[in-house]
Amino acid sequence: MAQGAAYLGLGSNLGDRAANLLAALAWLTAEGLVIDRLSSIYLTDPVGYSEQPSFLNMVARCQIAGRHPWELMRLCLETELRLGRRREIPGGPRTIDIDILLIDDWKGDERRDGVDLTVPHPRMHERRFVLSPLAEIDPSVVHPVLGVTAMQLLDRLTDSAGVSLYVR
């Protein structure tokens, strides 16, 4: 299954958060992923499990022609592991988190070897820390299930979590 563009959400709230984001991008590109758009980095409040440090989040658009969605998922998980990601508390602190948000207009919900791949990301439309950077780099990308653009989703959002541009 050859697709064209995928959008990845990246986040970090442990260690040197900005360096973790950059290291993830470097690893993904070293593994052959072509990243053609990057959002700014955003400082964001944790959502869900709130007893943890603030996050830095961003979105990357990648060209993935010829890659199957599961190959992209494997690459994201491998990158997290290489950068010290530990899954000890659901939604808890992490050195790096890489989520597949969208893959063109592809829709999938599958489980393999204990790993779930759901695209579009099932909660992206509820999260300001995802929609702000996504709308920054591609405000007209359409959510393939909801049929509205990233900017429209952001405008409709009631999420009050703090999201601001990160200045180092």
As annotated, the active-site residues are 85, 94, 97, 99
In this structure, the number of other CB atoms found within 10 A of the CB of residue 74 comes to: 16
All residues at 6 or more sequence positions from 93 whose CB lies less than 8 Å from its CB, including other chains: 13, 14, 52, 53
Q: Which amino acid is at 130?
A: V
Q: Is 134 exposed, middle or buried (0-12, 13-18, 19+ CB in 10 A)?
A: buried
Rounded Cα distance, 33 and 29, in Å: 5
Q: Among all chains, which residue has been given the structure tokens 């979105």?
A: 59
> Of 56, 51, 63, 75, nearest to 16 (Cα)?
56
